[in-house]
């Protein structure tokens, strides 16, 4: 029987936490799902821990080498049979009604193709990170790479992948999820977030050790997005604006004129809130100590 939902998890050397992560999915209050776990070339006990769960819903796929998060996730997407696909990280913990709440939301809102929610950060950092709920705000927040779709909370319709053959971009060693959601936006996807916490997100040394790699990837993805969000800028001006977001210490020469043009009113490109996009630019101006002067 074809499952209603496919849960896709990738893991590489995740023996410390993957058992808890898998247990949180198997304990969900809705049973109709398959659980695809991609062991991406682990050298530890990751595969053995996954295989130790006696649950027919789990399908363990072992890559012969480390292909990277994006490629491993794409294998999971290609194997997924469910009408809906949910992502899960190997070091996080899903709340017991995460999947049922998201399916109920998607069934109630047929126009929404991608659904997420808030996270509770725990470990070396402890805080709540709510998510913006409206499609237009989520899309605008791609510009700042925050408050949009938290990947381990994501659940989306498989039809979105089939319609535009969407996949994660293997060229990104980090922030591949941000690039994926932006590609989904370009493909016409409608987003929504639940106004509640869905996943406990573990913050530990492994997250922080990749912070520089993530920042570099985000800056590259943002530079591409700026070309879309600010059609009034030429290529050189778009590069200057991207630099203003990436490096608060860059030279100020010529920056004010570019930022003034970036604040000029333009129609929404993908349904993003132009008000929020403008606010993001103005907030960046404030960080740079520059006045917010609109064209």
Percent of residues, the chain, with pLDDT higher than 90: 82
What distance in Å separates the CA atoms of residue 245 and residue 230, rounded to the nearest whole number? 14
Quick check: 34 and 2 in contact, CB under 8 A?
A: no
pTM above 0.85, yes or no: yes
Quick check: 145 and 186 in contact, CB under 8 A?
A: no
pLDDT in tens, 2-15: 999 999 999 999 99
What distance in Å separates the CA atoms of residue 85 and residue 110, rounded to the nearest whole number? 15
In 3D, which of 19, 128, 1, 157 has the Cα closest to residue 9? 19
Averaged over 88-109, what is the pLDDT? 98
What distance in Å separates the CA atoms of residue 14 and residue 45, rounded to the nearest whole number? 8
What distance in Å separates the CA atoms of residue 224 and residue 235, rounded to the nearest whole number? 10
What's the pLDDT at 256?
Answer: 76
Pairing mode of beta strands 84-89, 127-129: unpaired
What's the pLDDT at 209?
Answer: 46
What's the pLDDT at 250?
Answer: 62
What's the pLDDT at 252?
Answer: 60
What's the pLDDT at 77?
Answer: 98
Element (H, E) at 63: strand 58-63
CA atoms lying within 13 Å on the CB side of residue 165: 0
Q: Enumerate domains of the chain plus CATH numbers.
A: 5-209 (3.90.550.10), 230-288 (no CATH)
Quick check: 219 and 245 in contact, CB under 8 A?
A: yes
- In angstroms, how far apart are the furthest CA atoms of the chain? 63
245: which residues sit within 8 A by CB, 6+ positions away? 143, 144, 219, 222, 226, 284
Element (H, E) at 158: helix 158-164
pLDDT in tens, 111-132: 999 999 999 999 988 999 999 9
Banded model confidence at residue 253, pLDDT cuts 50, 70, 90: low
What distance in Å separates the CA atoms of residue 48 and residue 201, rounded to the nearest whole number? 23
Element (H, E) at 222: helix 211-229
What distance in Å separates the CA atoms of residue 123 and residue 118, rounded to the nearest whole number? 17
pLDDT in tens, 197-230: 999 999 986 664 466 889 999 999 999 999 999 9
Averaged over 241-252, what is the pLDDT? 76
Averaged over 90-114, what is the pLDDT? 98
* Helix, strand, coil shares, percent, the chain, to 5: 45, 20, 40
What distance in Å separates the CA atoms of residue 122 and residue 203, rounded to the nearest whole number? 6
Residue 147, phi-psi category: left (phi > 0), alpha (psi -120 to 50), beta (remainder): left
What distance in Å separates the CA atoms of residue 267 and residue 274, rounded to the nearest whole number? 7
Averaged over 15-40, what is the pLDDT? 97
- Determine phi and psi for 87, rounding to 5 degrees: -95, 150
What distance in Å separates the CA atoms of residue 72 and residue 84, rounded to the nearest whole number? 18
What's the pLDDT at 254?
Answer: 67
């Amino acid at each position: 029987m074809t499952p209603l939902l496919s849960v896709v998890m990738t893991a590489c050397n995740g023996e410390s936490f993957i058992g808890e992560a898998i247990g949180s999915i198997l304990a969900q209050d809705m049973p109709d799902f398959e659980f695809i776990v991609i062991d991406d070339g682990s050298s530890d006990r990751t595969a053995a821990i996954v295989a130790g769960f006696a649950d027919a819903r789990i399908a363990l796929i072992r890559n012969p080498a480390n292909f990277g998060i994006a490629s491993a996730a794409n294998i999971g997407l290609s194997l997924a049979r469910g009408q809906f696909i949910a992502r899960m990280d190997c070091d996080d913990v899903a709340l017991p009604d995460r999947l049922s709440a998201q399916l109920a939301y998607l069934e109630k809102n047929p126009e929404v193709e991608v659904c997420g929610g808030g996270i509770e950060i725990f470990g070396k950092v402890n805080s709540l990170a709510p998510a913006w709920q409206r499609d237009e705000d989520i899309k605008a927040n791609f510009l700042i790479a925050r408050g949009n779709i938290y990947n381990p909370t994501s659940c989306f319709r498989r039809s979105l992948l089939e319609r535009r053959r969407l996949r994660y971009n293997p060229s990104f060693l980090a922030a591949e999820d941000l690039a994926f959601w932006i590609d989904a936006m370009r493909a016409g996807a409608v987003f929504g977030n639940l106004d509640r916490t869905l996943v406990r997100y573990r913050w530990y040394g492994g997250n922080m050790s990749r912070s520089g790699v993530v920042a570099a990837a985000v800056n590259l993805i943002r530079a591409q997005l700026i070309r879309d969000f600010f059609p009034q800028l030429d290529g050189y001006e778009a590069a200057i604006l991207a630099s203003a977001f990436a490096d608060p210490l860059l030279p100020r020469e010529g920056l004010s004129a570019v930022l003034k043009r970036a604040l000029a009113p333009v129609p929404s490109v993908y349904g993003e809130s132009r008000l929020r996009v403008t606010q993001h630019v103005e907030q960046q101006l404030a960080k740079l100590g520059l006045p917010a002067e609109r064209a």
